[in-house]
Chains A and B, each alone.
Chain A
Amino acid sequence: MSEARDEQLELMIGRVLKTGVFASGICLVIGLALLYVPGGARAAGILINVGLIILMTTPATRVVVSVYEYMRERDWLFVVLTTIVLVSLLGSLLVGLLT
């Protein structure tokens, strides 16, 4: 196990999280502001939902990045573990949509 590679993954994940928080924050702030602009309700609704979806996709994205990185490292145990987490997240999406 190489500590240098783990550090690289940590920094990559940090960037994914930062980008997600920033992007969703912008959508949410603009969306909320549009609620108070005449005729802006429709756009506001879309932007707010996009912001929330980006927010919920951010942790999932960092799991995808981890699966990919562990694959490159050929660390199969962690490929399996992170894939299970990813499948669970998709499972919860299905539960939410289908039940």
Chain B
Amino acid sequence: MPVATPLFQALTFLAGAVAGLLGALLGIGGGVFLVPFLNLGLHFPYQSAAAISLTTVIATSSSVSAARSGRHLINMRLGMTLEVATATGAILGGITAQELSQSTLQLLFGIVTALTAFAMLRRIGRRNVILDPNAPLGRLGGRYFEDESGGMVSYQVKRLPLGLGASFIAGNISSLLGIGGGVVKVPVLNAWCGVPMRAAAATSAFMIGVTATAGAVIYYGHGQLIAALAAAAVIGVQVGSWGGIKLSTKVKARWLKLLMAVVLLIVSALMIAKGM
């Protein structure tokens, strides 16, 4: 177990700040950046890196969702339905993480990071279609005002079992790898369940707090969470994402996404090479 020296605290804080900044600018969780930095850069055991990252994921989910509340972007009913699957998946992932070797976890992380990069590339330049604002919502549907298009968007949730399946897998890899799991949920909710991108992302970010808590509590109980470093990372991520939100109006997301997709592919290759 790494010791929380002042140097490690400072580095973890900085890494958290960078991860939070990039996460906020790119609309993804910062875990994909924080975990490899702690694991490959600072040589923390994978489980310690994942535990620290999960605590920052909880903080990001809570603060982002608090800021969004009241705007109907978060589909609470859909989120709470899918949480049944993510929470169960997270517990299983947390138990499995204790059994898997460092190199297996690194390989898995490499694969998931590559998927994140491709998902990000696909999203570049894509706009939401305005759906019929008067369509029936069904039991789980939602309705919200979209700033970009300046209109009401309403949608129905389709193929719920697929969404539940994706959420279970997302919960699983979340506590296994120390990331939020949005990379699995958001594309499925958007492409197959009929949830518009912004609502899918907001609902996923909302659920991630519960998912990451189920995972983090297991690491915490096992004494694998280094408290002082987790604290430094959480504060770093909060500062970083605050900065990211301020900057996001000035930075061209398109180029940044392209650049970061390349960075993620490099991270993925490094992790896979390390895990082989």
A interface residue numbers (CB < 8 A to B): 1, 3, 6-7, 9-11, 13-15, 17-18, 20-21, 24-25, 28-29, 31-32, 35-36, 44-45, 48-49, 51-52, 55-56, 58-60, 62-63, 66, 78, 81-82, 84-85, 88-89, 91-93, 95-97, 99
Contact = CB atoms under 8 A, between A and B. Distances in A.
Given A7-B72, A85-B87, A96-B218, A60 B62 contact: no
A17 B210 CA distance: 12
Contacts of B94: 92, 95-96
Grouping DSSP codes into helix (H, G, I), strand (E, B) and loop, the A interface class, with mixed when no group exceeds half, is: helix
Nearest to B216: A56
Nearest to A13: B69
A1 B230 CA distance: 41
Grouping DSSP codes into helix (H, G, I), strand (E, B) and loop, the B interface class, with mixed when no group exceeds half, is: helix
A10 B83 contact: no
Nearest to A67: B80
A35 B231 CA distance: 12
B76 A21 contact: no
A32 B80 contact: no
Contacts, number: 154
Given A89-B87, A96-B218, 17 more contacts: A6-B77, A11-B70, A21-B63, A25-B238, A28-B234, A29-B235, A31-B228, A36-B6, A48-B227, A52-B225, A52-B231, A55-B55, A56-B217, A66-B76, A78-B80, A89-B213, A96-B219
Interface string B146-179: 0000000000000000000000000000000000
Interface residues of B, number: 52
